[in-house]
Each structure stands twice: as C-alpha cells, then as structure tokens.
Amino acid sequence: MAPLTRRKLLGTVPVLGLGATALHATIPHSHATAAAAEHGGNAGVAATAHGGSHAGFRGATVDHEANGFNPHEILRDFDYGKTSTLPDGRTLREWTLAAAEQEIELAPGVTYEGWSYNGRIPGPTLRCTEGDRLRITFVNGSRIHPHTIHFHGIHPASMDGMPGVGRGAIEPGGRFVYEFDALPAGLHLYHCHVRPLAEHIAKGMYGTFIVDPKWPREKADEMVMVMNGFDTNFDGANEFYAANTIGFAYAERPIRIARDELVRIYLVNILEYDPINSFHLHGNLFEYFPTGTSKTPSELTDTVMLCQGQRGIVEMRMPHTGKYMFHAHQSEFTELGWMGFFEVVE
Ligand SMILES: [Cu+2]
C-alpha cells in the first residue's frame, strides 16, 4: 500500500471541520505512525468521522504537562531575561538557552522527537528594548547534533550563529555566548542555522525575538503566535500544523479577549516544507505592521500571507462579543490543526 501522507489523510474526510478531528484521534503512536507510513498501515481513518461542531481532538487532549509546555502559556509568556545596568547606563539582559532532544505529543497519541530550546517549542520569547545589550549563553545539550542560535537583526558576523563563521556550529556538550546590541526595533526571530537547515528548523529550533521601540507601543493584550508544522512521517510534507505547536489547542480552549480592548499579536511564520503560510481573522479586520519596524500599518486587512522567516504585528479591537475563528487560509492547514478561536467577552 502507498505511504500514509497528509493529502491521503485529507482525501479520506468529507468536509472541513469534521474529518481532521477524527483522523487525528485515530493515528497511533509516533513510531507506529512512522511505521504505518512505511508499511501502509492505518489507512482506515475515515470511518470514525462523526459529530463535533468544529475541528479538534473531540475529547482526547494532549498531555501538556508531560510535554513540559502549554500553548496557552506560551501565548502570553514574554522573557525579559536577567537584567542589570552597565557602567554606561544601558540595560544588560542575559539569558541561557539550552538545546536538547525532546519527545512531544503533538496530537493525542502522536508523539514526535523534536529539538527544542529550553524545553519548549517554540523556544522562549526573548524580549528587550532597542539599544539594550544582550548576552545569550547557548548550551548545546544535544547528545549528537551540533546547533547554533542565529538571530535576525543587526549584529557582527561573529555573533550570527552561522556554521563556518566565527565560532560556527556549537558541538554537542559545547557552549557559546552570543552578545550584541538590540537593533533594530521590531519583531524578529531566532533559529538554529546548522545544516541540513530544513531539518534543524522543522524539528523545532526557533523562537520569537522582540525588540521594543524606545517609543512605547500602546498598552494592549499581547500574544505571540509562531506558525509551525511537523512532518511526523519524514516524507517531506507536514502532517500537523499549528500556531505554537499544538494543533487545535486554541479551538479546544478559545483565547479569551475583552471586547474593544486593543489586541496585539506578534505573528511569526517558521513553517518548513510549505512555501507559504497565512493568518486570517473572522468578524473583523486588523492593522498589519510587517516586521514591526514602522509605526504605520501597511494595510487594513483580514488575511496576511507569510513566507518562512516573515513576521509582522497584528492589531485589532473586536467590536462584538462571541466566538471568532482565526486560522491559516490554506484550508488544508486549517484542517490539520492550524486554527483556533477568540472568545470575545465584555
Ligand atoms: Cu540545530
């Protein structure tokens, strides 16, 4: 039998919303998943499609505690580091980021060996202010793989986290201190840059890097969404899509926001294997600030498209209470996990 691929899985389900749910719930354990793909087992996933008002895992849930992270906590978790004041009066921020192999339950019963920074995928959201001095101690806790941290932004070549440049790849058990100034203000990211690059990114070695402008942004309910996906059967296509790793997490438990309150989403696309990703909001339009480098939005829209590494700030106020979906406007990604809801309350 042919391998079990995501398109094959989608082909077995009738309509958006019902099918993805059922097929996820019936996929067995990770090694079994890979094995099933290899040997063509586990094909009869369509039979269980029934019920449910929207996509999700229908009762079964991922064990966030066992994973060591919860997408609802990652959403509003900003890490400002350990701060001190330098002789010249500037703020020094220090972090330690450790890389490791980490087994993650992506969907109920579907485990995957990811590679993480500090035990979570995406890694910590590092946040600072324009002009701060940043010192990031990288500890490569991997048993076998060399890794780096490559930051987007302005810095010397020796701090770029590129194999073959400066200290280059950090060997298993090795450590290196990346140190540079926080420039420019904007929404950036960091990720490993060791080859094969697609694998190191697809495994989960990335995180958000926010440089706040010296002029403060308006107070808002702020959150981070890192759009990602996982190729669990290693066929070069993703089987699972999400914002912040766990598909349907924000559908099972919608994100509560207040009516008319300013919401600011730091939106990052790091998806591997698919050339493009997107974010679409129901029931409203939003202002979009590409890379977060300008005070002026580039457009008022309800959908933005992002290639890998592209990011931007989304700002909106929801005028009505109720449940509003957000999702990739590639319907396929939506059905495979990249969707959720805002619950707008008074
Ligand atoms: Cu790596």
Q: What is the pLDDT of residues 310-322, one digit of tens each?
A: 999 999 999 999 9
- Residue 41 half-sphere exposure, CB side, CA atoms within 13 Å? 12
Kind and range of the H or E run holding 197: helix 197-202
Centroid of ligand 1 to alpha carbon of 169 (angstroms): 9
The type of residue at 59 is G
Identify the burial level of 80 via C-beta atoms within 10 angstroms of its C-beta, where 0-12 means exposed, 13-18 middle and 19 or more buried.
Answer: middle
- Strands 339-345 and 255-258, how do they pair? parallel
Ligand 1 mean position, distance from CA 100 (Å): 10
Q: Which position has the higher pLDDT, 34 or 294?
A: 294
The CA distance from 226 to 248, in Å, is 14
* Gap from CA of 155 to ligand 1 centroid (Å): 20
Residue located via tokens 């039998």: 1
Instruction: For residue range 223-251, list pLDDT tens digits in order.
Output: 999 999 999 999 999 999 999 999 999 99
CA of 255 to the centre of ligand 1 (A): 31
Q: In this predicted structure, what is the pLDDT of residue 61?
A: 85
Compute, in angstroms, the gap from residue 262 CA to the centroid of ligand 1. Answer: 36
Separation of CA 257 and ligand 1 centre (Å) = 36
- The CATH code that applies to domain 65-212 is 2.60.40.420
**CA 194–ligand 1 middle distance (angstroms):** 5
Compute, in angstroms, the gap from residue 126 CA to the centroid of ligand 1.
Answer: 18
Beta carbons within 10 angstroms of residue 309's beta carbon: 15
**Of 9, 75, 80, 7, nearest to 48 (Cα)?**
9
- Annotated domain spans of the chain: 65-212
CB 217 within 8 A of CB 187: no
Going from the Cα of 193 to the center of ligand 1, the distance in angstroms, rounded, reads 6
Distance 145 CA to ligand 1 centre (A): 7
Predicted confidence at residue 15, as pLDDT, reads 32
Q: pLDDT band for position 9 (50/70/90)?
A: low
The whole-model pTM stands at 0.87
Residue 305 reports pLDDT greater than 70: yes
Query: Do 119 and 68 meet the contact criterion of CB atoms below 8 Å apart?
Result: yes
Paired tokens of 61 = 């849930």
